[in-house]
Amino acid sequence: MNEVPEGGDIYGFPLNMPYTNIDKIWQEVKNTDIHNIQNDDVEYVLAVGVYAYDHFVLSVWIFVGVIFNKPIKAR
């Protein structure tokens, strides 16, 4: 992940759910509405982890965020 530039800001959160199917997971990400941020100067960041447990249980962790690159104004 890139560093947050001076004067910039970051917003993000984790999602955790059991794996049922990829469509369900994609719908949960879309339900956050983070993809509808109306700003031309943002970078999206994403990390995914899947952890296996007994009895064929998969725990899916999705970390999604945006970096707002606010330009530094000249003095």
The pLDDT of residue 5 is 67
Q: Looking at the domain assignment, is residue 4 inside a domain?
A: no
Q: Looking at the domain assignment, is residue 35 inside a domain?
A: yes
CA–CA distance, 15 with 17 (Å, rounded to integer): 7
Our count of domains for the chain comes to 1
pLDDT beyond 50 at 9: yes
pLDDT beyond 60 at 1: no
Q: Give Cβ neighbours of residue 18 (< 8 Å, ≥ 6 apart).
A: 57, 58, 59, 60
Q: Looking at the domain assignment, is residue 2 inside a domain?
A: no
Specify the pTM. Answer: 0.77
Per residue in 50-68, pLDDT (tens digit) is 999 999 999 999 999 988 8
Higher pLDDT, 52 or 36: 52
Residue 30: exposed, middle, or buried by beta-carbon count in 10 A (0-12, 13-18, 19+)? exposed
Q: Looking at the domain assignment, is residue 31 inside a domain?
A: yes
